[in-house]
């Protein structure tokens, strides 16, 4: 290939070739750079004949912390002091970058295909291939592996020169995250790692999606890591920059509704649209055509004489703008912090400030609510006693109505022959409509008043789950069904007991009714057959004698069925009443425990002090960030 003309753009093939020749031999391996290490400074040699004053100034300069180490210390203190106000995964990534050598930090970039677009994953994969491909060489093995990669699985790409890769870290398991080591002459010296996956970004009308929610969803995506057979563990993978890739008109509408342009260039959008330019749409995202970039790389590999056509297709595809954005975040002058790392810390501090302001607004709202409420804990104790009295009265009255009502009369012993399959339905309806519905609603209202007076949401003692080997003497309100249910934010004993009765006792009652009917029919049929045999074998001289044998069997079977079924009905009725009383007592004790608790939690003054401390730490971190190089 001839010398590069003066009019060739910066990303021309000749430029790529020159970048390849100028890659430094001292490039840091991206995998090794993931290990946190302290930034070491080269000690300055002091002349042997230095004066005492110069030595004193040098000792002071050596002991004073640098702005970078000061920022790291403040972020660690902020993490320990207010972990609920910061995104811990992004904070760890920021600390990792600050602990590395300035200018050599690892920059993580995510290329995310929007899950709402049908072919966004394939477009993101083709875009990544175009960014990393070297048009001056033939197609490499990693390009084939990237083409064969499943779009639905995440992929990690570590960009580094081949000579710095001593160990092949590519995982070949089918159920694990795949890794590729790629040598790209344009990006080898930038210490970049790329995450390729699909993501579900928060969507809504323009202005509805906040910047913080977008950053937490896109700059800290969740990757499912296989932990066991047929099991996955979600792991948050924070990145410095993210590129949202969509396809078609639907993808353009989804990306346009996101506040991408307000994220200080940390998040960028790219939509695959053919024959349309960004100026025509007046869009805040990049309009790309990956097919043109692929065609340009392919024809240049066929012959270097196609360099001009390659450049035309490359810039027409707008992939060059994405390449410029990638390089801008990972390129810095010597011994200066990379822009991507600086933007990450700034975004982290800004989101922390927003969280502090939101916490202060909630604190003021709670203060005004508590001040305007006339109730106090003494009134709540009276309300609790009134509720318990009314709940016991409701339990007695409602169950009396239930067990003397029409549904319960339908389950008489002589009606089981045609209503045996309705036992579960009728008893479940009785429990749903008559098992303290009003008391449960009043309990929820009472716990709301408790939370209002205490200016917080207390945790109530809940029914504990059944464990293997536990004594069977526990009451029902202390036992949990074999099914798993989410505990509510109020005493859930009433609903829990109702669920226990429906899931455990009602099926047993239904099964008993079916067994009694089958046993009665079997006994009656057996005695009737015996009477017929006696009559036919002349053991019974008359029809009346044979009929007496059959009648005796039928009466015996029906009597036994009546006795057992009425006993079972009476036992179930008593169990429902007793478990209802136990549930009421347990719920009353749970609320009383919260009301009598001596430690109501953090006071308003303590919360104000913690928020002021967090605000002070953020201010110190912003000052240190402004002073680092």
Q: Tell me the CA distances in angstroms from 345 to 71, 107, 239, 298, 562, one per residue in order.
A: 9, 13, 12, 40, 78
Residues 6+ apart with CB under 8 A from 140: 134
**Collapsed DSSP state (helix, strand, coil) of residue 609:** helix
pLDDT band for position 377 (50/70/90)?
low
Q: For 357-383, what is the mean pLDDT?
A: 67
pLDDT at res. 370 = 52
3-state helix, strand, coil in the chain (%, to 5): 60, 10, 35
pLDDT band for position 396 (50/70/90)?
confident
Question: Edge-to-edge, what's the strand order for the sheet holding 107-114?
Answer: 178-182, 155-159, 192-199, 107-114, 241-247, 267-272, 286-288
pLDDT at res. 236 = 86
Model confidence over 232-279: pLDDT tens digits?
778 888 999 999 888 888 888 888 888 888 878 888 888 888 877 777
Pick from 289, 319, 273, 269: nearest CA to 135: 319
Pick from 339, 71, 94, 66: nearest CA to 220: 94
Model confidence over 31-56: pLDDT tens digits?
343 333 333 333 334 344 444 444 44
The residue among 593 and 487 whose pLDDT is bigger is 593
pLDDT at res. 26 = 36
The CB-side HSE value for 59 (13 A sphere, CA atoms) comes to: 7
Model confidence over 446-468: pLDDT tens digits?
887 777 776 566 667 777 643 33
Give the least confident one: 214-218, 364-368, 414-418.
364-368
Pick from 501, 376, 497, 506: nearest CA to 439: 497
Pick from 157, 123, 340, 366: nearest CA to 251: 123
Name the DSSP class of 501. I
Provide the pairing of β-strand 222-228 with 267-272: unpaired
**62 has pLDDT over 50:** no
Mark residue 415 as left, alpha or beta (left: phi above 0; alpha: psi -120 to 50; beta: remaining): alpha
**Mean pLDDT over each residue of the chain, to the nearest integer:** 76
pLDDT at res. 52 = 45
Beta strands in 65-220 (DSSP E): 107-114, 155-159, 178-182, 192-199
Residues 6+ apart with CB under 8 A from 500: 476, 479, 481, 579
Q: For 381-390, what is the mean pLDDT?
A: 84
pLDDT at res. 53 = 44
Provide the pairing of β-strand 192-199 with 241-247: unpaired
**11 has pLDDT over 80:** no
Q: Where are the domains of the chain?
A: 106-331, 358-459+489-612
pTM attached to this predicted model: 0.57
Model confidence over 512-560: pLDDT tens digits?
888 888 888 888 888 888 777 777 776 656 777 777 777 887 888 888 8
pLDDT at res. 109 = 92
């Amino acid at each position: 290939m001839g010398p590069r003309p003066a009019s060739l753009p910066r990303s021309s093939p000749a430029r790529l070739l020159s970048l390849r020749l100028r890659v430094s031999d001292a490039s840091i391996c991206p995998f090794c750079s993931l290990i946190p290490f302290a930034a070491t400074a080269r000690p300055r040699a002091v002349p042997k004949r230095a004066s005492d004053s110069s030595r004193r100034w040098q000792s002071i300069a050596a002991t004073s912390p640098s702005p970078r180490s000061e920022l790291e210390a403040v972020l660690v203190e902020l993490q320990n002091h207010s972990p609920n106000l910061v995104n811990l995964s992004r904070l760890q990534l920021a600390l990792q970058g600050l602990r590395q050598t300035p200018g050599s930090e690892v920059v993580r970039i995510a290329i995310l295909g929007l899950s709402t677009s049908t072919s966004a994953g394939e477009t993101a994969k083709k875009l990544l291939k175009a960014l990393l491909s070297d048009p001056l060489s033939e197609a490499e093995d990693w390009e084939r592996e990237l083409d064969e990669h499943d779009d639905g699985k995440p992929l990690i790409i570590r960009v580094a020169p081949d000579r710095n890769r001593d160990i092949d870290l590519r995982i070949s398991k089918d159920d694990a995250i795949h890794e590729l080591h790629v040598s790209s002459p344009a990006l080898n010296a930038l210490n970049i790692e790329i995450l390729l996956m699909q993501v579900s970004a928060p969507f809504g009308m323009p202005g509805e999606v906040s910047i913080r929610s977008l950053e937490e969803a896109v700059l800290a995506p969740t990757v499912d890591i296989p932990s066991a057979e047929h099991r996955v563990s979600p792991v948050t993978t924070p990145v410095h920059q993210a590129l949202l890739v969509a396809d078609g008109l639907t993808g353009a509408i989804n990306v346009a509704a996101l506040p991408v342009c307000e994220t200080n260039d940390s998040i960028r959008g790219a939509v695959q649209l053919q024959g349309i330019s960004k100026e025509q749409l007046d869009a805040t995202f990049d309009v790309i055509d990956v097919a043109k970039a692929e065609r340009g790389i392919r024809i240049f590999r066929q012959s270097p004489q196609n360099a001009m056509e390659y450049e035309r297709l490359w810039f027409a595809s707008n992939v060059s703008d994405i390449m410029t954005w990638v390089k801008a975040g990972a390129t810095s002058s010597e011994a200066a912090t990379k822009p991507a790392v600086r933007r990450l810390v700034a975004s982290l501090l800004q989101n922390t400030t927003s969280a502090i302001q939101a916490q202060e607004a909630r604190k003021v709202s709670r203060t005004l609510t508590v001040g305007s409420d006339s109730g106090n804990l003494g009134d709540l104790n009276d309300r609790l006693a009134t509720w318990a009295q009314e709940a016991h009265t409701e339990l007695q009255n409602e169950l009396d109505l239930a067990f003397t009502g029409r549904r319960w009369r339908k389950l008489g012993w002589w009606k089981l022959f045609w209503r045996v399959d309705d036992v579960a339905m009728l008893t479940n309806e009785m429990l749903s409509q008559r098992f303290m519905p009003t008391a449960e609603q009043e309990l929820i209202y009472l716990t709301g008043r408790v939370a209002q007076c205490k200016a917080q949401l207390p945790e109530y003692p809940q029914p504990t789950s059944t464990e293997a080997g536990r004594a069977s003497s526990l009451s029902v309100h202390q036992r949990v069904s074999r099914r798993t249910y989410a505990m509510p934010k109020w005493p859930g004993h009433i609903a829990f007991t109702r669920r226990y009765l429906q899931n455990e006792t009602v099926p047993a009652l239904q099964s008993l009714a079916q067994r009694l009917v089958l046993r009665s029919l079997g006994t009656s049929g057996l005695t009737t057959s015996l009477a017929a045999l006696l009559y036919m074998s002349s053991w019974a001289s008359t029809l009346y004698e044979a009929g007496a044998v059959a009648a005796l069997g039928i009466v015996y079977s029906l009597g036994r069925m009546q006795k057992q079924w009425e006993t079972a009905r009476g036992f179930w009725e008593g169990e429902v009443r007793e478990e209802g009383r136990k549930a009421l007592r347990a719920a009353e004790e749970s609320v009383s425990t919260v009301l009598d608790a001596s430690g109501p939690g953090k006071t308003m003054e303590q919360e104000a002090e913690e928020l002021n401390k967090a605000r002070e730490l953020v201010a110190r971190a912003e000052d240190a960030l402004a002073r680092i190089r």
